[in-house]
């Protein structure tokens, strides 16, 4: 069987100065301090924020289990977006965060996640397809946590007021 590709997109409205958004992205200590699941972020190659730098994030998943993931910063297009990639033996996940910038302000927070497996057997393919809804739901939950962490930073560090947000719009443009 061929590989399997799962794509999910999440979008929430945001009204913040884009320089404040990038100040948060550039401040890994703030990310660790404010994110309830992250204990540390260590740069293992290059420098934080440089394309092709690699970093390891360590923490606790929402189920209480420990995690450690290594990612690479693939692309930075300030002020619009950045792309990270996580490679594991059986899967590569690419995440694009973008901000819908207009007149120096981020109008939305959008994440596009593309998960691509290695070539799978028929049984493995079926198992991943059956689990795809759960994987996308978990990714949506993670997006909401990231959004709330960003909001907290904007309120506590930048003096923003209250934010209102609905559930993210979850789309599945491709699944095979």
Exposed (0-12), middle (13-18) or buried (19+): which is 2, by Cβ within 10 Å? Answer: exposed
Tell whether the model's pLDDT for residue 20 goes beyond 90.
Answer: yes
Strands 5-17 and 91-98: unpaired
Higher pLDDT, 76 or 4: 76
What does the pLDDT look like over 34-58, one tens digit per residue? Answer: 999 999 999 999 999 999 999 999 9
Domain residue extents for the chain: 5-171
Rounded mean pLDDT, 59-87: 95
What does the pLDDT look like over 114-146, one tens digit per residue? Answer: 999 999 999 998 988 899 988 898 999 999 999
- The CA-based angle 110-146-102, given to 5 degrees, is 35
Tell whether the model's pLDDT for residue 167 goes beyond 60.
Answer: no
Both tokens of 132, joined, read 């795809």
Q: What percent of the chain has pLDDT over 70?
A: 91
The mean of the pLDDT values for the chain is 91
pLDDT at 168 (0 to 100)? 55
Q: Which H helix or E strand runs over 142?
A: helix 122-158
Confidence bin at 21 (pLDDT 50/70/90)? very high
Q: Looking at domain 5-171, which CATH architecture does it have?
A: 2-Layer Sandwich (3.30)
Question: CB-based contacts of 39: which residues, under 8 Å, 6+ apart?
Answer: 32, 58, 59, 60
């Amino acid at each position: 069987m061929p590989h399997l590709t799962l794509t999910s997109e999440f979008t929430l409205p945001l009204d913040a100065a884009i320089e404040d958004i990038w100040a948060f992205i550039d401040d890994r200590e703030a990310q660790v301090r404010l994110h309830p699941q992250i204990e540390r972020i260590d740069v293992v190659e290059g420098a934080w924020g440089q394309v092709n730098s690699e970093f390891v994030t360590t923490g606790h998943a929402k189920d209480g289990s420990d995690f450690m993931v290594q990612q690479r910063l693939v692309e930075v297009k300030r002020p619009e977006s950045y792309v990270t990639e996580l490679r594991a033996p059986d899967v590569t996940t690419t995440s694009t965060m973008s901000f819908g910038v207009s007149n120096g302000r981020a109008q939305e927070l959008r994440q596009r996640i593309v998960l691509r497996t290695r070539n799978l057997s028929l049984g493995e393919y079926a198992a991943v397809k059956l689990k795809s809804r759960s994987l996308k739901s978990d990714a949506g939950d993670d997006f909401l946590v990231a959004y709330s962490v960003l909001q907290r930073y904007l309120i506590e560090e930048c003096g923003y007021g209250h934010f209102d947000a609905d559930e993210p719009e979850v789309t599945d443009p491709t699944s095979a």
